[in-house]
Amino acid sequence: MRFNRWLVVSVAVLAVVCVLGTLAAMFLRNEFAKKSNMFYLSVMVCAALVYLVPPVIQYTREFVYFGEAGISTNALLRALGFTLGLVLCALLVLSTYEVHGSLRTEGEKSVFMLGSAVIFAGDFIGAGVAALQRLRVIPLTDSVFKVMIWHDANPNAFLFAQLLLALVMLAFVILTHRHPVGIFANRAQLRKEKARLRDCRRWSWSLGVWGVLAVFVVIVLHYYDTKPPAEVQPEPYDLNDGVISIPLERVSDGHLHKFSYVTPNKYDVRFLVVKKPAGTAYGVGLDACDICGIAGYYERGDDEVVCRRCDVVMNKNTIGFKGGCNPVPFEYEIRGGKIFIDVKELEKHEMRFK
């Protein structure tokens, strides 16, 4: 962990040095300044690869969730989505490169280069400040805390800033590359210029399409992929003389059933009932565990009970037993086709749900 944080700090320092070097080179018009400019940009690209490649590789370990088969529809869909994401990034880079090549004047290229360098370094600065604080190199002042909070709360801010810059650039290219300008020696040169302008406009539209698709992926698809599952609504039950009774026929379908009991101290104690796949036994336990607390569980598909916090898939045959991320068990009784639960058993665990 310390190595990873020092790596982030090193990359952030490199980015800052390269941005400052780029700014200095912009004010110099000699050959050395041009070469140093390319050197700084090359270093920033290498730093970006060091910073971004490890998390990308880490994503490949999430193709198969805990409890899933190594080859399954969900795993293949995740791998396909990962591959399409890389393709989208490559198309964005290619389109940006081609549109940038359309900006012929040094002034326009310098503005684009400066904007990209500042945005590029900005993300690293936020990550570097957070890493330095966690390494106890800098104190946790109000300013440092605000930087850390803002960086954590806006992970895609610099991505959107880069896309906005690309939008401004492509709009400029489309507006200024509609008609040939100047005098041409013959019609062949005119046709060549028209073809060049047409290619510039097409690459600009391409950049716009991939940019919109990237925003769609980051906002819409990411939301649907990460939104919490729908809450299982508590079901009714009978309560007589401090004893809860639940007919087995209502919970014998193999699905997860959730119930709720409000204690005299106003704590909402949630508990679960599910019929086990093997035999006629039932799993009964709290909607909480000793590891993940009261995060609770939800049903995924037709036969998976999953922890909301750690995404571990429960083995239904072990629900009702202690250990691991299993629902915390409590005493109950089955007789006469019903499950009987003394509310005092639930009140013993009310402090878990405070």
**Both tokens of residue 304?**
């998976």
What pLDDT digit, counting tens, does each position of 73-119 carry? 777 888 888 888 889 888 988 887 788 777 765 555 566 666 666 66
**Long-range own/partner contacts, residues 331-334 (CB < 8 A, 24 or more apart):** 332/284, 334/248, 334/282
Q: Are 115 and 12 in contact (CB under 8 A)?
A: no
What pLDDT is stored for residue 337 in this prediction? Answer: 87
**pLDDT at residue 296 is higher than 60:** yes
**Alpha carbons 132 and 147: distance in angstroms, whole number:** 12
Average pLDDT of every residue of the chain: 78
Of the given ranges (22-36, 59-73, 241-255, 287-301), which has the lowest mean pLDDT? Answer: 22-36
Amino acid (one-letter) located at 219:
I
Output the CA angle 243-245-246, nearest 5 degrees: 155
Which residue has better confidence, 317 or 232?
Answer: 317
In the chain, what percentage of residues exceed pLDDT 70? 78
Least confident range of 87-91, 214-218, 268-272: 214-218
Determine the Cα–Cα distance for residues 281 and 283; give it in Å rounded to an integer: 7
pLDDT score at 228: 64
Question: Which residues make Cβ contacts (< 8 Å) with residue 8, sequence separation at least 6?
Answer: 51, 124, 127, 128, 130, 131
- Structural domains in the chain plus CATH codes: 2-226 (no CATH), 238-353 (2.102.10)
pLDDT, mean of residues 216-240: 78
66 — pLDDT class (breaks 50, 70, 90): low
Reduced to 3 states (helix: H, G, I; strand: E, B; else coil), residue 286 is: strand
Q: Who has greater pLDDT, 288 or 123?
A: 288
Split at pLDDT 50, 70, 90, the class of 143 is confident
Give per-residue pLDDT as tens, 331-353.
888 888 888 988 888 888 888 88
Q: Please state, in angstroms and rounded to a whole number, the distance separating the CA atoms of residues 123 and 234.
A: 44
The crossing angle, in degrees rounded to 10, of helices 73-102 and 187-216 is 140
Q: CA-CA distances (angstroms) from residue 347 to 15, 20, 126, 314, 334?
A: 57, 64, 47, 25, 20
Banded model confidence at residue 324, pLDDT cuts 50, 70, 90: confident
Kindly indicate the confidence band of residue 71, based on its pLDDT and cuts at 50, 70 and 90.
Answer: confident
Asked whether residue 272 carries a pLDDT value surpassing 80, the answer given is yes
